[in-house]
Amino acid sequence: MSQRLTITDLDIIHSIKLSQQIPSVVEAIATQKIIALSAQEAGIQVEPEELQQEGDKLRLEQKLVKAKDTWNWLEKHHLSVTDFEELAHKNVLKRKLANHLFAAQVEKFFYEHQLDYDAAVTYEVTFEDKDLALELFYALEEGEIIFPEIARLYIQEPEIRRAYGYKGLQHRKDFRPEIVAAIFASSPPGILKPITTPKAVYLIWVEEIIQPQLDEQLCEKIITELFSEWLKKEIEFLDIATHLDVDAKQPQKEVLNHA
C-alpha cells in the first residue's frame, strides 16, 4: 500500500546542513550578490534579446526540445518560469561582468602565461623495471616493435590497455615535474627515453605538441579564469553573516553514551 511522503523546506535545509553543504551554498549565494552589486555599479544591464538567447541556450544544454520537456524539467527542479528567467538573467549578467572586467586584459595575460597553455598528446606505459623499459625503448627505435604492442603486453588495466596507454591532450601543469620538460623539448611523433620517477619508470610516446592560439575559445577560458580568481578574492574579504535557524524547529534527541 503506497503512502504519501511529505518533505518540507525545513527538511531540505536540515539535510543540506547535515551533509555539510551549507558553506558551499553560502558561498554560491555570496557570489551571486557580488556579481549583482558589481554589475549594478558598472551600469551593466541585460537586454531582452540576450535573455531570450540565454534561455534558448539553457534549453539546448538540457535537451529540452519540446515545451513538455521544459515543463517537466522545471517541475523536477521545483522552478517556475520566473525562476528560469532569473537563472538566464544571472548567467548573462555574470558573463557580461566578466567581459567588462577582464576582456581588455586577455592578450597581455596570454603572452605572460603562454607556456601554461602549451599542450601535448601522449601515450604512456609504466614499468617497475628500468632495464625492461630501456630494452623496449631500443626495440622501438630499431623498429622491432611498435608502441601499441608494448601497451597491449604491459598495461594491466583493460580500459587503458584497449586505448594503448592514451593520455589524451594535457597541459604542462598536468604532467609530472620529472616528465614535462622532456615532453615539450621533443620533436613528435616519437618515443622518449625512459624517465625514472619515485613512482615508476615511464615510457612515453609523444604524438603531438600543440602550440596555443589566442582564439575565441581561449579568450573565454582566460576571462573565466581571471573572473573566478577575482570572485574568490572578493569573497575572502567579505564578512558573511548567515541567519539559519533550523535547530529550533527540529525535534531534539538525547545522545546517550553507553559504557
pLDDT digits (tens, 9 = 90+) for 135-173: 999 999 999 999 999 999 999 999 999 999 999 999 999
pLDDT for 2 equals: 64
pLDDT for 4 equals: 84
Q: What are the C-alpha distances in Å from 63 to residues 20, 59, 70, 73, 91?
A: 31, 6, 9, 10, 18
pLDDT for 250 equals: 47
Please tell me the pTM assigned to this model: 0.75
Whether 2 and 60 have beta carbons less than 8 Å apart is answered as: no
Q: Residue 165 — left, alpha, or beta (φ > 0 → left; ψ -120 to 50 → alpha)?
A: left
pLDDT for 258 equals: 41
pLDDT for 20 equals: 94
pLDDT for 46 equals: 96
pLDDT for 87 equals: 96
* pLDDT lower than 70: segments of the chain: 1-2, 240-259
pLDDT for 97 equals: 98
- Architecture of 119-210 per CATH? Roll (3.10)
pLDDT for 148 equals: 96
pLDDT for 89 equals: 97
Q: Where are the domains of the chain?
A: 9-108+217-249, 119-210
pLDDT for 243 equals: 63
- Cβ-based neighbours of 135, under 8 Å, separated by 6 or more: none
